[in-house]
Amino acid sequence: MSIKGRVVDVLSQVAVVSPLRSQVEGLLKSAAHRFPTSRTVGSFCHHFGIKLMEHEGQSFERIATLGTGGRMYCDTDKQIGLLNLRFYFSGTLTGQTEDERPIVELMSRWVRPGDVFFDLGANLGFYSCFVSPLCGPSGAIHAFEANPRLIPNLRRSIELNKEWSRIKLNATAVGRESNTSLTLYGIDRIGSSSLHPHGWLDKDSAVTVPVISIDSYVKENKISRIDVMKVDIEGAELEAFQGMEHTFKLCPPGAIVCELMPAGVSDRASSAAPSREIADYLSARGYEAFTVVDVNGQPRLRAISSDMIANGTHVTNVVFVLPIMKSERSQFFLPHGS
């Protein structure tokens, strides 16, 4: 630990045992909401959170309230609970390889009452919980998470949002075919476990998980519309889309927000489909690719090519949109070439 880290750690310990603990906690929440990407604020929140969990022991419990009013559960789990505390302090999604706040801002304006939202790779549940108040009781959320390590906490977070809308949790991976099983690697790497053996994953930390195709799921649940689909499944995107052929014909998602991993990412498993192949696959099914940019504090979509996606140097989120949806939401799109 650096000298700065030790100082922050000591100050956090003093704050946790002082009579002003609640006030300090409130001040950190306010600071993190205002400066969500500040390393200094984030460091204080992290160390204070650790000390808070240690001090309160098994009685520790917090509820994170997100920008839309959605909620997430934080408990004594030293890994999951601490990760969820990021949402408790900041109210948004920070600390990622890529800053996902532009995607969060887009979702807050794009998702509407009555929408059907598919969350492939729900992880800790941020997006499902975030859009829950936006979809409302007339909408629905279908969350898919393969990592069994996350399911108990995810269920508790989903329960907190039942007043807003229906969230159906599916403890399964998404792939080409249903009624199969695959190996999920790195289950202790929260948010990074994958069906592909990437170099950064512990191959000994693996489990066999069930797999379902979206085509089967849509048919079994009599789903007739999908407004938005979020896909973050660490390299298994193409397999998931290949299991959607009938869905693309019957009720294609109006917009697909997909995290893509360029071929140049270090230690990326060769078995994972290149980002260009995924982009071209969706393009062949009528989708246009966009990236989210900030224009005067508003999220806007700028067109990008398969070459731009393929030549990226880091993990990035791409928004794939059908022309009919683009026409209906024209206010979100920048003119080509801008």
Residue 86 lies in a domain: no
Q: Same domain, yes or no, for 130 and 239?
A: yes
Per-residue pLDDT, 97: 58
Q: Same domain, yes or no, for 49 and 138?
A: no
Q: Same domain, yes or no, for 309 and 173?
A: yes
Q: Same domain, yes or no, for 54 and 201?
A: no
Phi, psi of 239 (to 5 degrees): -60, -40
Q: Same domain, yes or no, for 253 and 180?
A: yes
Residue 338 lies in a domain: no
Residue 96 lies in a domain: no
Per-residue pLDDT, 9: 83
Q: Same domain, yes or no, for 123 and 237?
A: yes
CA 281 to chain centre: 22
Structure tokens at 285: 């099914």
Residue 34 lies in a domain: yes
Structure tokens at 305: 């090519």
- pTM for the complete prediction? 0.94
Structure tokens at 164: 């807003």
Residue 90 lies in a domain: no
Residue 75 lies in a domain: no
CA 190 to chain centre: 11
Identify each DSSP E strand in the chain by its residue range: 62-65, 71-74, 116-120, 140-144, 166-170, 173-174, 180-185, 206-212, 228-231, 255-260, 288-295, 298-303, 316-321
Q: Same domain, yes or no, for 288 and 158?
A: yes
The parent domain of residue 113 ranges over 101-332
Q: Same domain, yes or no, for 134 and 5?
A: no
Q: Same domain, yes or no, for 46 and 115?
A: no
Residue 67 lies in a domain: no
Residue 176 lies in a domain: yes
Q: Same domain, yes or no, for 39 and 167?
A: no
Per-residue pLDDT, 265: 76
The packing angle between helices 39-56 and 3-17, to 10°, is: 50
Q: Same domain, yes or no, for 167 and 309?
A: yes
Identify the H or E element spanning 103: helix 101-110
Q: What is the CATH number of the domain that holds 320?
A: 3.40.50.150
Per-residue pLDDT, 203: 85
Per-residue pLDDT, 98: 64
Q: Same domain, yes or no, for 54 and 180?
A: no
Per-run averaged pLDDT (10 residues), the chain, 338 residues: 77 88 94 91 92 92 95 91 92 74 94 97 96 96 97 96 94 95 93 90 91 98 97 94 97 96 80 92 97 92 91 87 95 86
Per-residue pLDDT, 71: 97
- As for how many domains the chain has, the answer is 2
Distance CA 157, CA 322 (A): 31
